[in-house]
């Protein structure tokens, strides 16, 4: 059962799960296929679960998901990408798009998740099989 869903929210234009970061929180080595992102004390909300996140706390009654109001929170985490497993060059002239993509493994370590009420503090490590970044 999911009991936390941290998210920076959904913008008025529909863009979601995206936050601005400072340049010094990101390191990229395109040729080596390595990158890292380190963020500390990022302001987010804890919507309890994905349904409440996507419905702004209205739940999803057809599946028995009760409404839960979002709670202000902060998160800190590190993401490391490395180990090139594949690469590809993509060109789409019709949409004026091109890129050199590298597929790698990634490790995400969520260091903390804190609610505005100090009731939660935890650490966990997760392994993501594939990630992609481009230049």
Domain span including residue 120:
6-134
75: nearest Cα among 14, 128, 10, 9: 9
Q: How many domains does the chain have?
A: 1
82: nearest Cα among 103, 98, 99, 62: 103
Domain presence at residue 33: yes
Read off the pLDDT band of 132 (50, 70, 90): very low
Domain presence at residue 106: yes
Read off the pLDDT band of 113 (50, 70, 90): low
Angle at 31 between CA 29 and CA 37, to 5 degrees: 25
Prediction pTM value: 0.70
Residue 16 has what pLDDT? 83
Render pLDDT for 18-28 as a digit per residue (tens, 0 to 9). Answer: 888 999 999 99
């Amino acid at each position: 059962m999911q009991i936390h869903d941290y998210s920076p929210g959904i913008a008025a234009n529909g863009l979601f799960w995206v936050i601005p970061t400072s340049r010094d929180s990101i390191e990229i080595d395109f040729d080596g296929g390595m990158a890292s992102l380190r963020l500390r004390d990022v302001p987010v909300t804890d919507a309890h679960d994905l349904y409440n996140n996507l419905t702004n706390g209205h739940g999803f009654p057809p599946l028995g998901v009760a409404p839960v109001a979002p709670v202000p929170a902060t998160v800190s985490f590190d993401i490391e990408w490395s180990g090139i497993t594949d690469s590809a060059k993509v060109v789409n002239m019709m949409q004026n798009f091109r890129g050199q993509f590298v597929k790698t493994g990634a490790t995400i370590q969520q260091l903390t998740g804190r609610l505005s009420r100090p009731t939660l503090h935890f650490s966990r490590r997760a392994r993501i099989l594939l990630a992609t970044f481009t230049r």
